[in-house]
């Protein structure tokens, strides 16, 4: 009988201590960069990784937060760190599913929309060589 109560108590402790994290979700920007994001609904934080196809499929770390009662129902802001240059940070901010790119030393303002990773990349939105469209 003691074993049964001990098991129930341990399960209850584990259940209370676990953060309210949603399953990871894959989103894609207009260039085909893919973002695997997890949302912690207790702290309203976002964490994950970005597969940056514009940079030879480098993997970058993401952290951020959101406002609103649920993810995808409010303002989101995520920051990515360039894995090859620690001085380069990129921010994506906006009212989900829309966002804007923000670059070091710039106000950004390049509009984009999150889509599911299974969506095709729109050829008209491929990055330009001038460095202002995405992270090239």
pLDDT score recorded for residue 65: 94
Q: pLDDT tens, 14-57?
A: 444 455 666 678 888 888 888 899 999 899 999 999 998 888 88
Q: Does the reported pTM lie above 0.75?
A: no
Domains and CATH numbers, the chain: 20-125 (2.40.128)
Rounded (5°) CA angle 9-13-19 = 155
- Residue 113 per-residue DSSP state: E
What would the mean pLDDT of 82-89 be, rounded to a whole number? 76
Cα dihedral 130→131→134→136 (10° resolution): 110
**Average confidence (pLDDT) over 56-73:** 87
Q: Which of the pair, 130 or 21, is modelled with greater confidence?
A: 21
């Amino acid at each position: 009988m003691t074993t049964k109560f001990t098991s129930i108590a341990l399960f209850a402790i584990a259940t209370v201590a676990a953060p309210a994290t949603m399953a990871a979700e894959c989103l894609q920007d207009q260039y085909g960069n893919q973002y695997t994001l997890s949302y912690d609904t207790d702290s309203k934080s976002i964490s994950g990784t970005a597969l940056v196809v514009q940079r030879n499929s480098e993997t970058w770390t993401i952290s951020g937060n959101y406002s609103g009662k649920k993810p995808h129902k409010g303002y989101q802001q995520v920051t990515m760190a360039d894995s090859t240059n620690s001085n380069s940070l990129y921010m994506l901010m906006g009212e989900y599913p829309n966002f804007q790119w923000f670059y070091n030393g710039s106000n950004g303002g390049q509009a984009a929309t999150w889509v599911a990773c299974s969506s095709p990349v729109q050829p008209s939105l491929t990055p330009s060589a001038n460095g202002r469209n995405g992270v090239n």
